[in-house]
Amino acid sequence: MKHPIRYFFFLLMFIGFLSSCTVVKKYDPSVPFIYENTVKIQGVADKDKQLEIKSGLEEQIEDSVRVNDVSKLPWPKFPWIIPVPVIEKPESYDTAAIRQTTVNMGYYMSNMGYKSSVITVDSSTSRHKKQQRIKVTYNVQAGRLFTIDSVIFSIRDSTLQLIAESTKSESVLKKGFPLEEGIIGQELNRLVGVFQNNGYYKFSPDDIYAELDSGFSQLIDPTLDPFEYVQRLAALNEQKSKPTVDVYIRIKNIQDTVRLQTYRVRSFTIYPDTESENELPTVDTTQETFGGIRIISKYGTFDPEFIADQVKLKPGQDYTRERYGQTLNNFNRLGAWRNINIYGDAKDSSRTIDYLLKLSPAKKQFFSVDLEGSSIINNSQVAPVGYGKVGLAVNFTLRNRNIAKKAIILENNLRTGIEFNNFQKILSGEVTLTNRLTIPWMAIPYRDKFEGKFKSGRTIVSADFSYIDRFQYFTLRSFNTFLGYEWKPGPATTWQVKPINFEYTRFVPDSLFKQSLIEFPLLAFTYNNGLIIGSNVLYTHNFNPNARKKINLLKVYAETSGLLTGAIFRNATDSGEVLGDLYRFIKVDIDFRHIMQFKKSSLHFRAFAGYGIAFQTNRRKGDVTLPFFKSYTAGGPNSMRGWQIRKLGIGSNIFFDTLVNGQLNDKYADVQLEANLEYRFNLFQFFGFWMRGALFTDIGNIWYRNDVNGALPRGDLNFSRFYKDLAVASGVGARIDFSYFLIRFDLGFPLKDPRYGPYNTGDPNAEKFYTPNKYSWFVDGVWNRPSFQFAIGYPF
């Protein structure tokens, strides 16, 4: 193929043409119809804000003049079997609806702080075959943006005034912010929450309002001298181009005085195992009281003291909305009930509340079966060992939701899988048993002292066993157990800490592997026994948890092994000793994701960086690498989709691709850098489910920190060679979204494969990776042979 870039460019142009091709069906040729609505906005300087406002203005268009185009198959219209926007039964031009749309847009602009915006409408009619298409353009002149000058709490009740003033630093209204209706509503809701958290049970959003003042009362002052008057007059003239507003927060003239009084909790009654939402058991029940909380149970399904511990609204305490929310959250997160209903009965005479909590248990036992699969189209990437051309796996899950009557979850997962080529020769088999116990509280000493910091805390104990047989090459047995904790210090942040993590992997070589090891001792760096004694921590944070259009997520993972153990018991790390298989290392992963949501599509960006440092022991000398089961890999349905799983890298070195004619070409390394960009969009619906599409690009590779004592040239991370070592894949994907799970198919083209280079000459095994193409772009017979990936769920 002489001109791959040109053909690729033409392919992109053709896809763009099809995406812009709109098919109209079921229209009346005698009636003009709305074919396109366009919103043009001027006067908003900030580009991101302009996009947000434009999206909001498009939502103001009346339904009767909205263009309802849906991506689906246009058959029997061109392009027939390719999904494109289709308009069925288009709306006719309606002057009244157009006029109402401009009114809606005016209100919206006012709510966004633009109080003097002007909206005009232009329309044009064109003919396309028998169609009379009308294109409507809404021109929006934003006008002046009103901003906040000051925020004043003016509340007649002195106690509420003091409470509001004490939280003024937490106000979402700040000097210079745009005067948006939404942000004012947020501040009013914040204050309602503050008052309710101070015992004002009946105070509601209807009792508070905001008053705006844009006047310039400073000029109405008879004591002003002429010079000061001129100064204030100049400030008034400047304010005309940059208008500001004072915001006064007031409460209404409330006649019902109980709305301005505090309440306390008098009693709390719980029915933990009701069969119906509408009925309560009246016979065969037991009653117990813990700290004033009464538990009435019919079947004794749950431990009553455990149930009482979840309640934060203790009898005798003042009511707070925060404690009310914590109580509901505690029961919801346990997952042991299918229905949770709480009722409060307020007694105004005594200013007390009686609470009733009805809980309907969920099914205790849960069983599921899941199927996974993967395949590869590019035969040049298939190895007779390791993962085969086709892989199938079945997962069996058994879950018990209520161990020891304390909503402790025991989950057992059995995974069985095989991999083969052409549905004939089985290459490998796998059996994995995972056992996980999840305790819904922090099992640590002095737990009560730290309870406020460990919100939604839980303890996880796990024991996993795995057996993998790569027939005639090796068997791999592994055992992993850990003690871990998980908690949320805030709604946007989660911590997972495993202070105790023990893993042991035993590698048993078979005949073909032993033969390869004689010729290539370097394999001992990758495949060997491994002992992990250490800890790890995972930190996740959502930078804007309340945002819908733009989301930024950060995940940081750090793991250590053998640092302390290997230093204290150094002599025990000799070969044949109890810690002879111990690995000593540190590794850190950083994963950042940025998501932009649009009306019918979304753009997802992911950047990943992982780096590991391994240290010597008495047994392991020289350039030590991470154990292969802790190393980084690239390729597969979730990473660099132009390559089969674990087949990309290492750097631009081809040692493993030529080893035993490529029969041991799984790649493991110490460093990984990767960036992924994916555009996801809706295609069409069928039987109530969505078919969605995607265009993606993956960039990255894996490297060793060094060249492993000179044995792997061009396999180390070297920034002078960084661009040459980068791999690039692009492709298309289809997703079938069944709401509760998603099936994904991706077709990835390896546009730039760093393994191919002009230096691969002199060896017949290496020369098949030779290309004259600069930097290995569009290698003939490689880039146009895509990898087919199949998986459950999104890649990131």
Burial label for 496, CB within 10 Å (0-12, 13-18, 19+), is: middle
- Highest mean pLDDT (candidates 35-44, 206-215, 512-521, 758-767): 35-44
Question: From the CB of residue 753, how many other CB atoms can be counted at a distance below 10 Å?
Answer: 23
In percent, the amount of the chain with pLDDT more than 70 equals 85
Amino acid 682: pLDDT: 84
Render 118-155 in DSSP notation, one character per residue. Answer: EEEEEEEEEEETTEEEEEEEEEEE--PBPEEEEEEE--
Which residues are CB-neighbours of 433 under 8 A, at least 6 positions away? Answer: 412, 413, 414, 415, 464, 465, 466
Q: Find how far residue 734's CA is from the centre of its chain.
A: 20
Give the distance, in angstroms, between the CA of residue 609 and the centroid of all CA atoms in the same chain: 17
Beta bridge partner(s), residue 251? 208
Provide the pLDDT for residue 379: 34
Kind and range of the H or E element at 437? strand 425-439
Asked if residues 557 and 537 have their Cβ atoms less than 8 Å apart, the reply is yes
Helix (H) or strand (E) holding 474: strand 474-490
pLDDT-based confidence at 236, cuts 50/70/90? low
The yes-or-no verdict on residue 136 having pLDDT over 60 is yes
- Predicted confidence at residue 373, as pLDDT, reads 56
Q: What is the pLDDT of residues 33-88, one digit of tens each?
A: 888 889 999 988 888 788 889 989 999 999 888 887 655 555 566 555 556 677 77
**Integer CA distances (angstroms), 395 to 31, 80, 375, in order:** 57, 39, 18
Q: What is the mean pLDDT of residues 663-669?
A: 76
Q: What is the pLDDT of residues 704-758, one digit of tens each?
A: 888 777 778 888 888 888 999 999 999 999 888 887 778 888 999 999 999 888 7
DSSP per residue, 457-473: -EEEEEEEEEEEEETTT
Closest among 659, 570, 597 to 383, alpha carbons compared? 659
Helices (H), 623-707: 655-658
Residue 347's alpha-carbon distances to 270, 316, 321, 390, 784, in angstroms, are 19, 14, 17, 68, 75
How far CA 778 is from CA of 2, 381, 579, 749, 775, in Å, comes to 10, 16, 48, 10, 9
CA distances from 373 to 386, 636, 681 (A): 15, 12, 24
d(CA 171, CA 174): 7
Phi, psi of 162 (to 5 degrees): -65, -40
Q: How far apart are CA 12 and CA 19, in angstroms?
A: 11
Please state, in angstroms and rounded to a whole number, the distance separating the CA atoms of residues 595 and 598. 10
Question: What token pair was written down for 497?
Answer: 């800490």
pLDDT for res 671: 94
| Residue-wise DSSP of 542-593 | ES-TT-SSEEEEEEEEEEEESHHHHHHTGGGGSTTSTTTTB-EEEEEEEEEE
If one compares 444 and 423, the residue with the highest pLDDT of the two is 444
Map residue 675 onto helix, strand or coil: strand
pLDDT of residue 423: 54
In whole angstroms, what is the distance from residue 131 CA to residue 125 CA?
10
CA–CA distance, 382 with 757 (Å, rounded to integer): 20
**Residue 601: pLDDT over 80:** yes
**Is 375:790 a contact under the CB 8 Å cutoff?**
yes
More confident of the two residues 516 and 407: 407
Q: What secondary structure does DSSP assign to 484-535, as a single string?
A: EEEEEEETTEEEEEEEEEEEEEEEEE-HHHHHHHHH-TTHHHHSS-EEEEEE
Spatial separation of the C-alpha atoms in residues 495 and 154, rounded to whole Å: 41
CA distance 157 to 208: 12
76 preceded by a cis bond (ω within 30 of 0):
yes
Retrieve residue 50's tokens. Answer: 């302009």
Averaged over 630-640, what is the pLDDT?
90
Q: What is the C-alpha separation between 146 and 173, in angstroms, rounded?
A: 13
- Burial class, 506, CB count within 10 angstroms (exposed 0-12 / middle 13-18 / buried 19+): middle
Residue 255: pLDDT over 80 = no
Amino acid, res. 167: T
| Sheet of 293-297, strands arranged across | 286-290, 293-297, 264-271, 352-361, 337-347
User: Where are the strands (E) in 687-778, listed by range?
Assistant: 689-703, 727-737, 742-752
Beginning with the edge strand found earlier in the chain, give each strand of the sheet holding 33-42 in spatial order: 33-42, 131-141, 118-128
What confidence score (pLDDT) does residue 520 get? 66
Candidates 2.40.160, 2.30.30, 2.20.200, 3.40.50; CATH matching 365-440: 2.20.200
Q: Supply the Cα-derived Rg of the chain in whole angstroms.
A: 33
Q: CA 571, CA 580: separation in Å to the nearest integer?
A: 9
- Tokens coding 570: 């150094």
Task: Give the class (CATH, top level) of 459-792.
Answer: mainly beta
550 alpha-carbon distance from chain centroid: 12
371-380, 487-496, 608-617, 773-782: range with highest mean pLDDT: 608-617
Beta strand 286-290 pairing with 689-703: unpaired
pLDDT tens for each residue of 2-22:
444 444 445 444 444 444 567
Beta carbons within 10 angstroms of residue 242's beta carbon: 10
**pLDDT tens-place string over residues 174-195:** 888 888 888 899 999 999 999 9
Residue 45 buriedness (CB in 10 A; 0-12 / 13-18 / 19+): exposed
Report the greatest alpha carbon distance in the chain: 104
What's the one-letter identity of residue 351? R
Residue 383 reports pLDDT greater than 90: no
**Both tokens assigned to 569:** 């018991």
What pLDDT is stored for residue 119 in this prediction?
Answer: 92
The predicted structure's pLDDT at residue 597: 86
- 613-633 mean pLDDT: 86
Q: Tell me: the pLDDT tens digits for 312-323?
A: 999 999 999 999
Q: Which of 312, 333, 340 is nearest to 441 (CA)?
A: 333
Res. 137 pLDDT band, cuts 50 70 90:
very high
Q: Would you say 334 and 405 are in contact if contact means Cβ atoms under 8 Å apart? A: no
Strand partners, 586: 560, 613
Q: Which of 330-339, 479-488, 669-678, 769-778 is predicted least confidently? A: 769-778
CA distances from 770 to 507, 650, 740, 763 (A): 34, 16, 46, 10
Positive or negative CA dihedral for 48, 53, 56, 57? negative
Q: What percent of the chain has pLDDT over 90?
A: 36
Q: Long-range contact list for 288-293, CB < 8 A, 24+ apart?
A: 291/315, 292/267, 292/268, 292/316, 293/268, 293/269
What is the CATH number that goes with domain 22-141? Answer: 3.10.20.310
Q: Which pLDDT does position 35 carry in this prediction?
A: 86
CATH of 265-361, one of 3.60.60.10, 3.10.20.310, 3.90.1150.10, 3.40.50.1820: 3.10.20.310
Q: Are strands 84-88 and 689-703 parallel, antiparallel or unpaired?
A: unpaired
